[in-house]
Copies of this chain bind each other. A is one copy, B any other.
């Protein structure tokens, strides 16, 4: 499968069920009032590794044959895929090496090392990440588990939306953050596989808006360094994820870092949830859609993608009281 289907997502859900418990769907009256409709918060920050990435990494590692598994796995990641891969590899008892860019939050590095993976730091560019992981593979024979450009990973990420639509059968829209596009691709495949009428939106920081510009241009636009507090959203679409998003008519809304911080504050004050900046981008995007006058159905799903942030940094970001 170069492009996974709803059947692949359902198979992934069955495959990972014993290792990845379902996450709750949370509600907040105050957030409903803010957005103007019923908002269902898919709490992907409540995974054992603090992010949805555990779904795709677990699915990919369980699909390795014995020979591949024996060689171990490797990946580059700004953090959440790394921790997920480390935990999934440890559960299968295989080696794991992850390449992380300098500047990765210490919470994410610590979680990866605590799970038993070897961490190699590199310069904070996509080129350095790819080159370093290629060297690891050349040296060790490890199998690369790409953080998003992998149909096994995309199918795994889709299981979040499978759970969401089971919990909220009448859902009319789902908003997910977009970085490399693995989560958003899995979201679109799953939502549209179940009901083609569900609107699927991506949300992206203005400072890392390659998906927005790529979909607008009708071709993959890869240019410029990223500049955003959402450290989990700095990757760029692959040809595969671009094609999936384009074919599913997915649109992307962009938000400023201040809007993301506002959403973090709302989630803390109104829903009592602590999420990392990337984890609040989808809610910020939904608020922007509401402000833009986009029609919102009665029930909207928002994927809170992760919660791995140093508490000191979180407090500094969410430093004021209730947003106005």
Flag whether A123 is at the interface (Cβ < 8 A): no
A80 an interface residue at 8 Å Cβ cutoff? no
A165 to chain B, nearest CB (A): 18
Shortest beta-carbon distance from A196 to chain B in Å = 30
A107 proximity list for chain B (CB < 8 A): 269, 322
Interface 1/0 per residue, A239-280 and B, CB below 8 Å: 000000000000000000000000001001101111100000
**Per a CB cutoff under 8 Å, which of B271, B272, B310, B319 touches A275?**
B272
Bound together, the chains give a CA A110 to CA B321 distance in angstroms of 13
> Do the beta carbons of A29 and B48 come within 8 Å of each other?
yes
In the complex, A311 Cα to B46 Cα: how many Å? 21
Stoichiometry, copies per complex: 2
Whether A268 lies near B272 (C-beta < 8 A) is no
Chain B residue at smallest Cβ distance from A24: B24
A312: contacting residue among B21, B106, B275, B321, CB under 8 A: B321
A289 at the binding interface (Cβ < 8 Å)? no
A140 contacts the other chain (CB 8 A): no
Q: Would you call A92 an interface residue if the criterion is a C-beta within 8 Å of the partner chain's C-beta atoms?
A: no
Interface string of A9-49 (1 = CB under 8 A from B): 00000000000010010111100000000000000011010
For window 273-324 of A, CB contacts with B under 8 Å fall at 273-275, 307, 310-312, 314-315, 318-322
The residue on B at minimum CB distance from A267 is B274
Instruction: State whether the Cβ of A50 lies closer than 8 Å to any Cβ in chain B.
Output: yes
Which of A26, A28, A274 has the largest count of B CB atoms less than 10 A from its CB? A274
A: which residues have CB within 8 A of B? 21, 24, 26-29, 45-46, 48, 50, 106-107, 110, 265, 268-269, 271-275, 307, 310-312, 314-315, 318-322
Can you report 15 residue pairs joining A to B where beta carbons are below 8 Å apart?
Answer: A21-B27, A24-B24, A26-B46, A46-B271, A50-B272, A107-B269, A269-B311, A272-B273, A272-B274, A272-B275, A272-B307, A273-B273, A273-B274, A311-B318, A312-B319
